[in-house]
Structure 1
Amino acid sequence: MIFETIVTTLSPDGELHLAPMGIRYEGHEVLMMPFKPSRTLDNVLATGKAVLNLTTDVRVFAGCVTGRREWPTIALDGFAGRRLASALTHVELELVKPQDHDVRPILHMRRVGEHAHAAFPGFNRAQAAVIEGAVLVSRLSMLPREKVDAEMLYLQIAIDKTAGPHELEAWEWLTDAADRFHAAQEARA
């Protein structure tokens, strides 16, 4: 089972990077599989640390894949990292073992701290649709346009029925990004 999260990492120079990432739990380990190349991969390999952020603010997911990476964060006490200010829970991770792969290395991470900041109210359908839409937008160059269009059209149903202001804003970012990508593809053809 894959869980969608936001991973925050710091470069060796202390530069913050946020990335949406599907992770897996395996016993007490968290398995991250960033694509090569990626700043998340570089940062974790260089520092051995990452922070897993569990949030219901789906604007962060949509924002990260549409170039909006500036989100409020908070420095952590006793751990070299930052968490999202909107994180309901954050988990401090240390690298146990990197497993190299040509496309998606596996980073075996050990939980060294877990802190709850607010209760998880659950996701509404629009939040789930935004997360799925963010995954599609992050893979526009890998997926056929027909598949993207069909899936976005289906996800629109949940947006129309259950979205609040945050979900509507995030959805607009995603649809604009997909439209711009496809327009650029058509202009090149």
Structure 2
Amino acid sequence: MSERIFETVVTTCSPEGAVHIAPMGVRYAEGAVVLKPFRPSHTLDNILSTRRAVLNVLTDVRVFAGCVTGRRSWPTVPVNAPDGTVAVRLACAHSHVLLQLAEVQDDAQRPVLRLVRMHEAQHSFFAGFNRAQAAVIEGAVLVSRLHLLPREKVETELGYLRIAIAKTAGPEELEAWGWLQEAVALHRALAPEAA
């Protein structure tokens, strides 16, 4: 059986308080949240420095698409942690979980971080994803891997995802999809032989 990965957005702060927002696949194992950030990354550096992260559950897929296309400035609000920890969550999050680093399994490329829940809160009703939102999330994953994937695989998968966009997208999903399309076009223009 394959490992189940859930697409969320993780917010972290540097020791100086600079906020970093990153879409990230997370795993749940034995009550812990498992993150496997690549080296180098601000998320990894921030968690190792502060031992804190916030997992955000949201349906505004513009955050996923925006982060992989250079749009990383999203409204945040402070998290009221029981121990006075400084952390932030996304303002658009339906819920959040404040996490504390419990264990690090070091690796040269992708360390495994096990984090435990310190505090969690529900902010609004989560109705689930529509097909266009799921398509944007999958498109964002593709865009984050443009440098790794063959052009025909990207074209085939984007073509399939366009069906869900055409049938179920609202204004937010259309905006996010447009950002992803721009990123693909830019990648092709800058690296036509690889794209």
Q: TM-score, normalised by structure 1?
A: 0.97
2:62 equivalent in structure 1: 59
TM-score by length of 2: 0.94
Mapped partners of 2:171, 2:102: distance in 1 = 40
User: Is there any run of 5+ residues in structure 2 with no aligned partner, and where?
Assistant: none
Deviation at 1:145, TM superposition (A): 1.1
Counterpart mapping for 1:1-189 below 5 A: 1-78=4-81, 79-186=85-192
Distance in 1 between residues matched to 2:153 and 2:194, nearest whole Å: 20
Q: What is the rounded CA distance, in whole Å, between the counterparts of 1:183 and 1:145 in structure 2?
A: 12
Counterparts of 1:166 and 1:188, CA distance in 2: 30
What is the identity percentage for the equivalent residue pairs of Structure 1 and Structure 2?
59
Equivalent position SS for 1:107: strand
Q: Distance in 2 between matches of 1:133 and 1:188?
A: 18
Distance 1:51 1:114 in 2: 9
Distance in 1 of aligned mates of 2:151 and 2:103: 37
Aligned length: 189
| Whole-angstrom CA distance in 1 between matches of 2:33 and 2:127 | 23
Q: 1:106-137: per-residue Cα shift (whole Å, max 9, x none)?
A: 11000111100011111000000000000000
Q: How many angstroms does 1:102 deviate by?
A: 2.0
In 1, Cα distance between equivalents of 2:54 and 2:126:
18
